[in-house]
Amino acid sequence: MKLLAVDTSSITASCALLEDKKLLGEFFSNVKLTHSQTIMPMVESLLKQTRVSLEEIDAFAVTGGPGSFTGLRIGLAAVKGMAWALERPCITVSTLEALAYNLYGIDCVVAPVLDARCSQVYTALFRWEGERITRLEEDDAISLQNLKNRLKNVEKPVFLVGDGAEMCYNNLCQEIPHLRLPSPALIWLRSSALGAAALSYAADGITVSPAQLAPCYLRLPQAQRELLAKKNKGVKEK
């Protein structure tokens, strides 16, 4: 099975092409261009370099969230357009679970962390034992204080991955000495890791139609949060 994986959920963008468990190619960027400018040219270049046509793709994978609201919509829209035109199945993977797959096969606990702003992070917790991954905590948006309390009680070592990894490490390493950072190449989300996670879902028959693709934000977009805050303030002042 040929699988095309696309990620635009955070500040990085990437795409990868896998045939069964073999990685045929991967493109990755960590620049300030918007994902709407980079992701489709990236996909086109990947297919050209691997000499695979879009029509040969059997399934598509994409990160469904949490992450950047705009970024998630761009990635989901790109995959939905390609899959719909070809009538191919799709696999959505939690952004945090895809990040955990960066440490595939390394016996450890992984805490993916994405900067959610407002002193919060999107996070979850996973354990790798050989080639088996176990989810220990569900995806959530929590404060740094709550993250510290959670990680203090986890067996060591705990590897941090994601765009919030260095920030969390710098803030918490003094109080939680068993925190670890992997090599820089493993901190950022790679579509090859997303693809590996998606293949495990596909093997279990867990796919969706293009029409069913939808983001999982975990919390309201900023505009809605600000509107609710104004409404609550107005209620209190009456």
CATH number reported for the structural domain that contains residue 162 in this entry:
3.30.420.40
**Same domain flag for 89 and 149:** no
State mean pLDDT over 5-12: 95
**Same domain flag for 92 and 193:** yes
Q: Is 157 inside any structural domain?
A: yes
**Same domain flag for 126 and 176:** yes
On average, the pLDDT of the chain sits at 91
**Same domain flag for 77 and 115:** no
Q: What percent of the chain has pLDDT over 70?
A: 92
**Same domain flag for 176 and 199:** no
**Same domain flag for 45 and 25:** yes
Q: Which residue has the tokens 């096969």?
A: 105
**Same domain flag for 121 and 162:** yes
Residue range of the domain that includes 215 = 2-96+189-220
Q: If pLDDT is split at 50, 70 and 90, which confidence band does 236 have?
A: low
**Same domain flag for 40 and 151:** no
Model pLDDT, residue 224? 46
Model pLDDT, residue 117? 85
Give the number of other CB atoms < 10 A from CB of residue 77.
15
Which of 187, 211, 228 is where one domain is finished? 187
State mean pLDDT over 189-209: 97
**Same domain flag for 168 and 57:** no
**Same domain flag for 107 and 178:** yes
**Same domain flag for 80 and 110:** no
Domain count of the chain? 2
Model pLDDT, residue 17? 98
Strand 108-117, strand 158-161: pairing: parallel
User: Tens digit of pLDDT for each residue in 84-125?
Assistant: 999 999 999 999 999 999 999 999 999 999 999 888 999 999
Whether 225 shows a pLDDT value over 80: the answer reads no
Whether 70 shows a pLDDT value over 90: the answer reads yes
Q: Is 234 inside any structural domain?
A: no
Which of 168, 187, 206 is where one domain is finished? 187
Whether 230 shows a pLDDT value over 80: the answer reads no
Q: Is 238 inside any structural domain?
A: no
Q: Is 124 inside any structural domain?
A: yes
State mean pLDDT over 165-194: 96
Q: Is 233 inside any structural domain?
A: no
**Same domain flag for 202 and 159:** no
Whether 231 shows a pLDDT value over 60: the answer reads no
Q: Is 86 inside any structural domain?
A: yes
Give every strand in the sheet of 90-94, ordered side by side: 22-29, 13-19, 2-7, 59-65, 90-94
Q: What is the pTM of this model?
A: 0.90
**Token pair recorded at residue 202:** 């596909």
Q: Of 115-119, 176-180, 224-228, which range is least confident?
A: 224-228
Model pLDDT, residue 155? 80
Q: Is 226 inside any structural domain?
A: no
CA 177, 178, 183, 184 torsion-angle sign: negative
CA distance 71 to 74: 5
Question: Higher model confidence: residue 237 or residue 36?
Answer: 36
Give the number of other CB atoms < 10 A from CB of residue 220.
12
Q: Is 225 inside any structural domain?
A: no
Q: If pLDDT is split at 50, 70 and 90, which confidence band does 203 have?
A: very high
Model pLDDT, residue 95? 98
Nearest CA among 113, 67, 69, 54 for reference residue 93: 67
